[in-house]
Structure 1
Amino acid sequence: MSLRRLLVLTGLGFGVIVLGIVGLTSWYTVDESDQAVILTLGKVDTAVIEPGLHFKLPWPIQDVEKLSKETFSLQFGYEEKDGTLKEFPEETKMITGDENIVLADMVVQWRITEPAKYLYNAIDPQEILYNATSASLRSIIGSSKIDDALTSGKAEIEAEVRELLTTLIEKYDVGISISSVKLQDVELPNEEVRRAFTNVTDARETMNTKINEANKYYNKRSQEAEGEKDALISKAEGDRTARIEQAKGDVARFNALYSEYVKAPDIMRKRLVLETLESVLPHAEIYIMNDDGNTMKYFPIRPMEKQAPPAQAEGSEKNE
């Protein structure tokens, strides 16, 4: 074989290899669940999020890195794999704001929103996310009371952890966004402490129940007292109005009598005496005697009238 023919064959072989590389590396596909980053000579060029077939310059001029658009879950304090749950209590042990120890684990839902930053701004973005989650949770638990962490304050703690974690991730600029934060379990470190806390909680609930009952009784008695007060005030107002009207009537009557008295004093004086006697002694028998008044007179007329019918009855029986 001549040297010329060898060079031709070598050139043809090299050309076939180059054409193969060009043909195989000049196009790529992006799935619905993926996103891609185009690198030109090792430098980030563009981000591709549209699914389908795309073309680029052949390798090694341009290269493609693909990442998923799905939502990932970060399990802090435990690991669930193949139906097996493995806990890491040393990582979840933290101190509350009122100096109590609790174990808290959490799930963080996150997505890759800026692929270039995720790939090249940090060596291990997931490790940064894990450490930021730990710092955020410890910070919020450390400023919360144990009652809030174990009972009704979990939702507020979750919101504060998400806000702080989002701030840290934005500061680290690793192309990750936080979708949600969920506390899984917040519990006390051992059974003895749990039992003591349960006793304290039961006592507090009993206290709150007694306070609520006392407030209910207080409100009931206050409403009854208010009702009695209003009734007394209403009655007093009615009595006042009645007395005022009665006083006005008495004044009008007095003025009328006085007008008549001015016209005929003697007659009016006698009339007033008789009316007064009638009002003071409504059942008395009054006899007007025309004498000097020195002799006391007794007239048993009414008793005699009451006894007359029986006497007449006895007389009629004798006549028979």
Structure 2
Amino acid sequence: MKEGKKGILRAIPMFLCVGAACCALQSFYRVSEQEQAVVTRFGKVNDIKTAGMYFKIPFIDQVQKVDTTTYGMPIGYTITNERNGENPDYETTSDSLTITSDFNLVNTDFYLEYKVSDPVKYLYNSNEPVRFISNMAAAAIRSTVSDFTVDDVMTTEKSKIQAEVRDQLTKSLEEADIGIQIVNLSIQDVEPPTSDVVAAFKSVETAKQEADTTINKAKQYKSEQIPAADATADSIVQKAEAEKEARIAEASGQVARFNAMYDQYKLNPLITKKRIFYEAMEDVLPELKVIISDGSTQTMLPLESFAYVSVEAADGGDENGK
């Protein structure tokens, strides 16, 4: 028993030395030239350290080191086989496919260089800052390329597109505030898409041209029909106006005739009534034989023979000159 107690007593100093050594190891940390250290105490950011050797409270202070060197990221392609840096193989990704302002498709490859500007924001303002910047870069590329034609994208406007993408991505990162800044953004390659995509695009373009043709035909038909409809409408209106004027003139004539007749009626009511009656009967019964009598004549003579003789006399008589 005494020997056991003595063994335990001898081991205590050894444990204390080991504990002290562990505390010493946990109390000091080193930050390299290309790093920054974020020191948190009880979960709250306490300090940011640059290159050097530093002390911390063991098991209370936590240190997270962030590499501040410049990183590179391909946008629109991946490197499948680097071959020790010589002649690497490239594979295009879906992020490279963009549409231009004239509705053509191109594969655009960019290379993005970035670094951490604020380690605290880098650690706490985004769960996946690298994925976040990749998505924002792809969005900026699509937005910018859509403002240029396919000829401009593949030839003379590469530098301008590159500058606009960089400016737009820089602005987006400033608004997102995730502690990353752009070092450089360069356009690597621009090429037409694969044959399958080209075939699909040609189908879309053909459909678009057919739609344009149909729209143009409809516009032509419209331009032809509207003048014809306008001419027909003008003709109907003019005809209606002419009929209106004719009816007004006819009504005015009838009014004038009625007024004149009324004036005569006021002078000789009875005679005018008889004349109106005879004229009305002549219109209603044109074949009616009219015999005028004073009421005391006993013998009626047909008027047709007198009218016939009067007509022959007016023509110059018969063959004997009578």
Report the TM-score range of the alignment, normalised by the length of the smaller protein: 0.5 to 0.7
Match of 1:174 in 2: 178
Q: Indicate the SS of the match to 2:189.
A: strand
Q: Compute the displacement of 1:78 (Å).
A: 1.7
Q: Conserved in 2, the CA contact under 8 Å of 1:78 and 1:87?
A: yes
The CA distance in 2 between the partners of 1:151 and 1:112, in whole Å, is 34
The CA distance in 1 between the partners of 2:15 and 2:124, in whole Å, is 34
CA deviations on 1:242-291 (whole Å, 9 max, x unpaired) are: xxxxxxxxxxxxxxxxxxxxxxxxxxxxxxxxxxxxxxxxxxxxxxxxxx
In structure 1, give the amino acid aligned to 2:16: G
The CA distance in 2 between the partners of 1:8 and 1:143, in whole Å, is 81
Comparing 107-116 and 82-91, the one that deviates more: 82-91
CA deviations on 1:25-58 (whole Å, 9 max, x unpaired) are: 1111222222211121232221112x22222222
Does residue 149 of structure 2 align to residue 145 of structure 1? yes
The CA distance in 1 between the partners of 2:149 and 2:143, in whole Å, is 12
Match of 1:56 in 2: 56
Structure 1: segments with no counterpart, 5+ residues: 194-320
Q: Indicate the SS of the match to 1:135.
A: helix
Match of 1:73 in 2: 72
Match of 2:46 in 1: 45
The CA distance in 2 between the partners of 1:191 and 1:150, in whole Å, is 18
The CA distance in 2 between the partners of 1:170 and 1:10, in whole Å, is 58
In structure 1, give the amino acid aligned to 2:39: I
Q: Percent sequence identity over matched residues?
A: 34
Q: Conserved in 1, the CA contact under 8 Å of 2:74 and 2:110?
A: yes
Change (3 A) 1:16 1:131: same
Match of 1:135 in 2: 139
After TM superposition, list the pairs within 5 Å mapping 1:1-320 onto structure 2: 1=1, 12=13, 15-49=16-50, 51-58=51-58, 60-80=59-79, 81-82=82-83, 83=85, 84-190=88-194
The CA distance in 1 between the partners of 2:70 and 2:93, in whole Å, is 26
Structure 2: segments with no counterpart, 5+ residues: 199-322
Instruction: Figure out how many residues of one structure are paired with residues of the other and give that number.
Output: 191
Q: Compute the displacement of 1:9 (Å).
A: 6.1
In structure 2, give the amino acid aligned to 1:27: F
Q: Indicate the SS of the match to 1:97.
A: coil
In structure 2, give the amino acid aligned to 1:70: T
The CA distance in 2 between the partners of 1:7 and 1:42, in whole Å, is 38
In structure 1, give the amino acid aligned to 2:150: I
Query: What TM-score do you get using the length of structure 2 for normalisation?
Result: 0.54
The CA distance in 2 between the partners of 1:170 and 1:45, in whole Å, is 24
In structure 2, give the amino acid aligned to 1:56: K
Q: Indicate the SS of the match to 2:141.
A: helix
Q: Compute the displacement of 1:12 (Å).
A: 4.3
Change (3 A) 1:79 1:89: closer
Q: Conserved in 2, the CA contact under 8 Å of 1:166 and 1:178?
A: yes
The CA distance in 2 between the partners of 1:9 and 1:102, in whole Å, is 77
Q: CA RMSD in A?
A: 2.4
Q: Conserved in 1, the CA contact under 8 Å of 2:78 and 2:93?
A: no
Comparing 64-73 and 122-131, the one that deviates more: 64-73
Q: Compute the displacement of 1:190 (Å).
A: 4.8
Q: Compute the displacement of 1:13 (Å).
A: 5.4
Q: Indicate the SS of the match to 1:44.
A: strand
